[in-house]
Amino acid sequence: MPVLTAGQLKKLTWAVFKKLGAPVEVAEIMSNYTVDSHLYGHDTHGLISIPRYANDVRVGRIDPHARVEVLRRGPATALLDGKRGFGYVTATKAMEIAIEIAKQEGVSTVGVTNCNHIGMLWGYVKTAVDQGLIGIVLCNSGPEGGGGLTAPYGGTRSFLGANPVAWGLPAGEMTPLIMDMSTSIVAAGKVSLARDKGERLPEGWILDTDGRPTTDPDDLLERGGALLPFGGHKGYSLGLLVEMLGGILTGYGCAYSSDFAGGNGTLMMVIQIDRFVPLEQFRRQADDLLREIKKVPPGPQASEILYPGELEFRARKIREREGIDIPVRTWNRVTELVSELGLGLEELLA
């Protein structure tokens, strides 16, 4: 299994995106976000996605030169058109505007339509947290042409998207609380990652095309099976909420529909804390809460009590020090792309 440093990964991905026609500033955002995905342990949104993005550029699904357009902007809201550019770039701009509005108005809600895949939601909410704000991001998702990815509770075929949702809240001395999760039991990217590692799936993740439980990743990725919602009816209900807010409210459309364009209909919300309580009071009480929860005695299945965000920050420290493992199948597809683009792999990794 190849191991890359963050610097090598940054140089490689920047060169690939630049060769795909991305302007310098776009290649910078795309490469930074790819590297961060790996550093924080979200390998499902790193190198594994790049061959797909390259193909999307080639067939015209992604316009590397697209510029985000503000369609409407009110006192506390905005609606953006991503113009089918790279989703990371569109979502980065959307969070910038959401933060700007929240600092003016106290809260903001920004919708994004006509947007390609925006990757892990973690980084967008962290951008708000880094400025002492609360960030919330949700989006519907699914393949071009509809059909969805996730079965409704009790159903036997896909209908909803995997429909991730993320939130981030700052603390003081403690690691901030940041959660990024799919409303399906697992993100489709984890199924892809398991296949690249040559692994079977745990039972209870997916159904085959006949609605039967299966552990074969290709039953989802190649044969059109379905993810299951997390937590039964609860995850299903949350997935419906995200479908309506990310898909219908933004004007993007729903994942089940035959005219669904793929990508992510996205809604972002930012809250300025000191419009409610002083920021330092919030940070202090957040620290108290997080310290106390970690004092709860762990049961036999756990060595310690963790809260959302801790594992990612720990992963970053480890991976900055020890490097980033890339599954062989993922690496083979990326190196094939590098060769097709006429780039020198040895030079990029030097």
Q: Report pLDDT digits (tens) over 205-264.
A: 999 999 999 999 999 989 989 999 999 999 999 999 999 999 999 999 999 999 999 999
pLDDT in the model for residue 196:
85
Q: Report pLDDT digits (tens) over 277-287.
A: 999 999 999 99
Average pLDDT value for residue range 131-135: 98
Phi, psi for residue 43 in degrees, rounded to 5: -65, -20
Closest CA to 95 of 68, 66, 65, 61: 68
CA distances from 156 to 209, 211, 262 (A): 8, 4, 22
pLDDT in the model for residue 271:
98
CATH number of 1-62+323-350: 1.10.1530.10
On average, the pLDDT of the chain sits at 95
CA distances from 68 to 64, 94, 177, 278 (A): 11, 9, 30, 34
Average pLDDT value for residue range 178-188: 93
Q: Count Cβ atoms within 10 A of the Cβ of residue 133 and give its class: 0-12 exposed, 13-18 middle, 19 or more buried.
A: buried
- 230 contacts 205 by C-beta, under 8 angstroms: no
Q: Count Cβ atoms within 10 A of the Cβ of residue 63 and give its class: 0-12 exposed, 13-18 middle, 19 or more buried.
A: middle
Token match 């550093």: residue? 39
CATH architecture entry for 66-185+229-293? 2-Layer Sandwich (3.30)
For residue 44, what pLDDT band results from cuts at 50, 70 and 90? confident
CB under 8 Å to 241, separation ≥6 — which residues? none
- 89 contacts 30 by C-beta, under 8 angstroms: yes
Kind of pairing between the strands at 133-142 and 263-272: antiparallel
pLDDT in the model for residue 187:
84
For residue 193, what pLDDT band results from cuts at 50, 70 and 90? confident
Cα 281 → chain centroid: 31
Closest CA to 148 of 276, 257, 255: 255
The count of other CB atoms within 10 Å of the CB of residue 213 is 14
Q: Report pLDDT digits (tens) over 67-81.
A: 999 999 999 999 999
The count of other CB atoms within 10 Å of the CB of residue 296 is 10
Cα(230)–Cα(179) distance, integer angstroms = 15
Buried b (16+ CB within 10 A) or exposed e, 138-173: bbbbbbeebbbbbbbbebebbbbbbbbbbbbbbbee
Where in the chain do CATH 1.10.1530.10 domains reside? Answer: 1-62+323-350
